[in-house]
Structure 1
Amino acid sequence: MSRVRDMFISGGENVYPAEVESAILEHPAVAETAVVGVPDERWGEVGRAFVVRHLGAELTSEDLRDFLRPRLAKYKIPAHVDVVDQLPRTGSGKVQKSRLRSMPRTRKAF
């Protein structure tokens, strides 16, 4: 899947995950991230970020959202943030965003 096809529409606005991922990666606690669009009754789709933290780093969803506010438009800030140990990858190392989209939401999300 190409980067353009990863785009999702939130409240009538185009959101490109690569832009959101770049902003998230600027946070010093974040080692890796992937952003996907997930269905939302009000906005059509919203962002869901999967974040791998650096070993020993602390990060809450509010810390991340506060960090992103001056960097991204409000509609681009992920509505859901999940901390994961690693991102699912193909044999060639590409992140499997289709697997991320289908992952159930857990209360463990931060």
Structure 2
Amino acid sequence: MVDRIKDTFVSAGHTIYPSPIEGEIGKHPKVRLVSVVGVPDAAKGHAIYAEVVPVAGEQLKASELKQFLRGKLPAYNIPARIRIVKDIPLSPVGKALHRAVQDNFGKRQGAKR
């Protein structure tokens, strides 16, 4: 498994590598772009969180993606939270900015309080 060390995290005792999860989600025909990150979780240490941009004109639900991933990934690698978004912040070379996705999650959690 090759992932940047700062992108890996531990969830419920499992070391999680975002790249293979992003790869599997990206195989769904309605997915245009995906970013997977770890977010704080009181029970697990971190939970797997994915932001997904659908292909233009397509409707996509988190439940549809979770069903798609069953059997393709171990259960502990299926994101606990999936959010369908219009866009994901990208670097100048077109890669998802994972830190920005984590920050967006944190801002939404703070707004719920």
TM-score, normalising length from structure 1? 0.88
- Cα distance in 1 for residues equivalent to 2:37 and 2:13: 16
> Identical aligned pairs, as a percentage?
36
Q: Which runs of 5+ in 2 are unaligned?
A: none
- Cα distance in 1 for residues equivalent to 2:108 and 2:83: 8
Q: Which amino acid letter does the alignment assign opposite residue 38 of structure 2?
A: G
User: What is the aligned partner in structure 1 of residue 90 from structure 2?
Assistant: 89
Instruction: Give 3-state SS (helix, strand or coil) of 2:28's partner.
Output: coil
- Number of aligned residue pairs: 105
Does the 8 A contact of 2:60 with 2:84 survive in 1?
no
Does the 8 A contact of 1:36 with 1:97 survive in 2?
yes
TM-score, normalising length from structure 2? 0.85
Please give the root-mean-square deviation of Cα atoms over the aligned residues, in Å.
Answer: 1.4
User: What is the aligned partner in structure 2 of residue 105 from structure 1?
Assistant: 108
- Cα distance in 1 for residues equivalent to 2:29 and 2:108: 25
Q: Give every structure 1 segment of 4 or more consecutive aligned residues whose post-TM-superposition deviation is greater than 6 Å.
A: none
Give the structure with the higher percent helix: 2
Once structures 1 and 2 are overlaid, which stretch shifts more, 87-96 or 16-25? 87-96
- Cα distance in 2 for residues equivalent to 1:49 and 1:89: 15
- The reply on whether 1:42 has 2:43 as its aligned counterpart is yes
Q: Which amino acid letter does the alignment assign opposite residue 108 of structure 2?
A: R
- Cα distance in 2 for residues equivalent to 1:92 and 1:22: 18
Instruction: Give 3-state SS (helix, strand or coil) of 1:34's partner.
Output: strand
Q: Which runs of 5+ in 1 are unaligned?
A: none
